[in-house]
Amino acid sequence: MTAGRRAVLAAMTGGLLAGCAGAKNGGAAASSSGPAGTGSGAAIPPTSGAVPSATASATRPPVTRAAIVARYGRSVPHTWGFDAPGVVHSLPRTTRAIALTFDACGGPGGSGYDQALVDFLRARHIAATLFINSRWIDANPAEFHRLATDPLFEIANHGTRHRPLSVTGRSAYGIPGTRGAGEVYDEIAGNRAKLTRLLGAPPRFFRSGTAYCDDVAARIVTDLGERFVSFSVNGDGGATFTAEQVHTTVASAQAGSIVLCHMNHPEGGTARGIASAVPHLLDRGHRFVRLSDALYRT
């Protein structure tokens, strides 16, 4: 990401959060605890949004934690933020497509369910990609099942404990990051295993808690068969924007934008802001796609 692009994003978000910041902590670093359990559940019949990331990733032997630690345990990161090499920030600009993505953070980041938002997307037949955390699934099993079986939506991996993805324990927005390659693996693979069981196929995409990562952690995401997806439009400032702010920010999205918002804070302005911004974008000739529709179908 260039310095100019960072400045644009900062101006659009007013310095506010890209991901839910849990209990509104400060920016001090802290140590993270070990990975949470991955839960259990019966498999949900796959829909068009629950498909393998590629034939190879669906059939190759799983990459083990020990292999990741051996490969990256001594690696030193060189970047930190939203722009590690290989991170996806936008769609191919060959169409008028925009990808709406909604995080469900779980735990201290919030386990609510924005029914009004989902009802609007369904009523207008607006496709979206939902980045769902393991703890949010545990808190909302029935809602997750309905979302996962709805072909409008694609389910993606938002981590096991909603951690910034770091091999050195760096924090973002006061949320402590993963400490070392092993904890990076746990953050990705714990929820990947849960989603694979529930969906019948592994997720294609990953976004860390806060969307922060370093370049080593981003390579681990790739090794585990997923693509790290960031954003080009911070649509709701970590679920802190008013409906008017959401409208202004999302309505300004350009072709190829990946919009980041949240679906776990029904008390916020996201649903009303999206409901007013989407018709504006449709009138401008844009269409809405799931990430797989744009990144895997050319």
How distant, in Å, are the alpha carbons of 44, 197, 264 from that of 281?
Answer: 33, 36, 23
- Helix or strand run (H / E) with residue 156: strand 153-157
Cβ contact 145:158 at 8 Å = no
Distance CA 109, CA 199 (A): 24
Look-up of token digits 């590629």: 54
Using an 8 Å Cβ cutoff, are 109 and 20 in contact?
yes
* 196 or 4: which leads in pLDDT: 196
Domains with residue ranges and CATH for the chain: 68-295 (3.20.20.370)
110/3: higher pLDDT: 110
Q: Please determine, for residue 183, whether its predicted confidence score (pLDDT) is greater than 80.
A: yes
Per residue in 251-283, pLDDT tens?
A: 999 999 999 999 999 999 999 999 999 999 999
**Structure tokens, 204:** 């294609």
Higher pLDDT, 23 or 68: 68
Residue with tokens 């951690």: 163
Those residues whose C-beta lies under 8 Å from the C-beta of residue 261, and which sit 6 or more positions away, are 100, 101, 102, 103, 235, 236, 239, 246, 250, 270, 274
